[in-house]
Amino acid sequence: MNLTLRKDADAIIASSLNAVLPDEAVRRALKAFAPKGGRVLLVAAGKAAWQMTHAAVEALGRVDGGVVVTKYEHVRGEILGVNCYEAGHPVPDENSFAATEKALELVQGLTAEDTVLFLLSGGGSALFEKPLLPGAELQDITGQLLASGADIVEMNTIRKRLSGVKGGRFAQACAPAQVFSIVLSDILGDPLDMIASGPAVPDTSTCAQALAIAEKYHLKLSEQAKALLAQETPKMLDNVTTRITGSVRELCAAAAAACRELGYEPVLLTDQLCCEAREAGSFLGSIVRTHAGQGKKLAYIAGGETVVHLTGRGLGGRNQELALAAAPALAGLDAAVFSVGSDGTDGPTDAAGGYVDGDTLSALTAKGWNVFDTLQNNDAYHALKAVDGLIITGATGTNVNDAAVALVGEK
Ligand SMILES: Nc1ncnc2c1ncn2[C@@H]1O[C@H](COP(=O)(O)OP(=O)(O)O)[C@@H](O)[C@H]1O
Ligand SMILES: O=C(O)[C@@H](CO)OP(=O)(O)O
């Protein structure tokens, strides 16, 4: 392994993730928070919910009650005056339903003088849920959507209609109280009504679109589910103010700043990466081949969210797959490619992403790993693990998509 580049990669990752913690953004958004004088209740949902709540309660001093719903192993301690719950992701479970019920109880019977501070981040679709049909069927439909290749906007267009809290319905449940909503974006382009299925945002999608998506992906639905898809969601909400705080743009900017700090000249290729993970990795490898060996330290940054079409039965995630796919092009060069999910979890693994450099291909070959076959089997996790190429961060407290970086060394 190229220890210099690995050390630089680890420093860039630590610094970028630290820079996109939601704390400062929450504090900034709260400058516009002007509750009317009644009670202030806090509800937070998503993978960054605990971190956002921690920052908000510190800034406000106190709230009159609160419920936080986040993913398992994402609660990092007690927060004064707030009950924190952990639940299932990406498929909602009984704990998602129970914690959401607690949030609904909290906002019941409020007056127009009261305010709900709603802190939302990606992952909320699974974590914050009151199903309008039996929970087991909602879990089944969620499983069908996750396996179908539907993108997040298509997926959430369906999920909104099966839910008592998504698609603006949570804001309706808070009425007549005002809802002040702070949203951390994990969807490219920041479509507010799609992030975590927009519990406090008027829905821009239609029943016709929902039915077309159900047909396109051949979803198996009960009569009850079909009837729900035909029922419109709120198109107007008059009790909500929304502030959007962080997104993948800030992650890319932070990565560029960290690269510059270490002497690399950064180039932002895109903050809207959305192609196949392995194609993105191969493309970054090609860029490295063009620019390596010229005596200049360079860094190429691509932020966004790639996709993986699962064809094999291995273990991995889109960031690990991207990194592994870059390994052949890097062979023998003073260069590295790494990619991380800012939430600290890449696919169903304990890794945040993957790292490869000019020594990785020979290390893999020596251990009997073939990159092409491994990618076909979607088993990037085990291959990278064998050559110390996993990036492990644990839950980070934020969730603003992914960043991939190609580093070109001086040699
Ligand atoms: N073995 C695998 N190899 C590569 N990618 C995988 C594998 N298994 C699942 N994935 C991908 O991981 C994605 C879910 O990853 P996750 O990091 O939890 O997503 P998100 O952060 O968007 O919630 C799925 O969309 C799937 O494409
Ligand atoms: O909750 C959701 O709907 C999505 C997008 O916001 O997040 P994730 O892909 O992390 O589940």
Atom of ligand 2 nearest to the CA of 90: 11
pLDDT value of residue 310: 86
pLDDT at 8: 98
Pocket of ligand 1 (CB under 6 A): 90, 308, 310, 314-318, 321, 341, 343, 345-348, 378, 380
Beta-carbon neighbour count of residue 95 at 10 Å? 15
Identify the three-state secondary structure at position 257: helix
pLDDT in the model for residue 363: 98
The pLDDT, as a whole number, for residue 38 is 96
pLDDT of residue 211: 97
> From the CA of 247, which ligand is nearest?
2
- 396-406: average pLDDT: 97
Task: Specify the 3-state DSSP secondary structure of 324.
Answer: helix
Say whether pLDDT at 23 is over 90. yes
Q: How far apart are CA 187 and CA 302, in angstroms?
A: 15
Give DSSP secondary structure letters for 342-396.
TTS--SSSS-SEEEEETTHHHHHHHTT--HHHHHHTT-HHHHHHHTT-EE-----
Please tell me the predicted confidence (pLDDT) of residue 305.
95
Distance CA 16, CA 271 (A): 14
CA of 170 to the centre of ligand 2 (A): 17
Q: How far, in Å, is the centroid of ligand 1 from the Cα of 348?
A: 6
Could you give the percent of the chain with pLDDT greater than 90?
Answer: 97
Of all protein residues, the one whose alpha carbon is nearest to atom 4 of ligand 1 is: 317
Residue 28 has what pLDDT?
A: 94
Spatial distance between the Cα atoms of 22 and 180, rounded to a whole number of angstroms:
16
Residue 150 CA: which ligand is closest?
1
Distance CA 222, CA 229 (A): 11
Q: Which of 308, 313, 340, 384 has most ligand 1 atoms within 8 Å of CB, for mutation?
A: 308
pLDDT in tens, 192-211: 999 999 999 999 999 999 99
Rounded to whole angstroms, the Cα distance separating 75 from 71 reads 8
Determine the CATH number of domain 3-17+249-408: 3.40.1480.10
Q: Please, which residues have CB within 8 angstroms of residue 31's CB and are 6 or more apart in sequence?
A: none
Where do the domains of the chain lie?
A: 3-17+249-408, 22-245
pLDDT value of position 143: 95
> Given a cut of 90, is residue 48 above it in pLDDT?
yes
Rounded distance between C-alpha atoms, residue 51 and residue 214, angstroms = 35
Q: What is the DSSP string of 117-162?
A: EEEE-TTHHHHS--BSS-HHHHHHHHHHHHHHT--HHHHHHHHHHT
Residue nearest ligand 2's atom 2 by CA:
196
- The residue among 320, 189, 261, 274 whose CA lies nearest residue 18 is 261
Work out the pLDDT band at 311, boundaries 50, 70, 90.
confident
| Predicted pLDDT of residue 289 | 97
For a mutational test of ligand 2's pocket, the pick from 125, 165, 184, i.e. the residue with the most ligand atoms closer than 8 A to its C-beta, is: 125
Ligand number nearest CA of 384 is 1
- Tell me, rounded to whole angstroms, the distance of Cα 58 from its chain centroid: 24
Measured between alpha carbons, how far is 323 from 166 in angstroms, rounded to an integer? 35
Query: In whole angstroms, what is the distance from residue 303 CA to residue 185 CA?
Result: 13
How many Å apart are CA 31 and CA 38, to the nearest integer?
A: 18
Residue 347 Cα, ligand 1 centroid: separation in angstroms?
3
User: Please, what is the average pLDDT of the chain?
Assistant: 96
CATH architecture of 22-245: 3-Layer(aba) Sandwich (3.40)
Q: Is the CB of 197 under 6 A from ligand 2?
A: yes
The string of pLDDT tens digits covering residues 239-289 is 999 999 889 999 999 999 999 999 999 999 999 999 999 999 999 999 999
Ligand 2: residue of 47, 100, 188, 195 to mutate (most ligand atoms within 8 A of CB) is 195
Q: What is the largest CA-CA distance in the chain?
A: 68
Q: Residue 342 CA: which ligand is closest? A: 1
d(CA 201, CA 171): 8
Assign 147 a pLDDT band (cuts: 50, 70, 90).
Answer: confident
Question: Hey, whose CA ends up nearest to atom 8 of ligand 2?
Answer: 123
**What is the value of ipTM here, to two decimals?**
0.97
Among the atoms of ligand 2, which is closest to the Cα of residue 121? 6
Which residue is associated with the tokens 């369906």?
A: 158
Tell how far CA 383 is from the center of its chain.
Answer: 24
Ligand 1 closest atom vs CA 314: 1
Same fold, 3-17+249-408 and 22-245: no
pLDDT tier at 114, thresholds 50, 70, 90:
very high
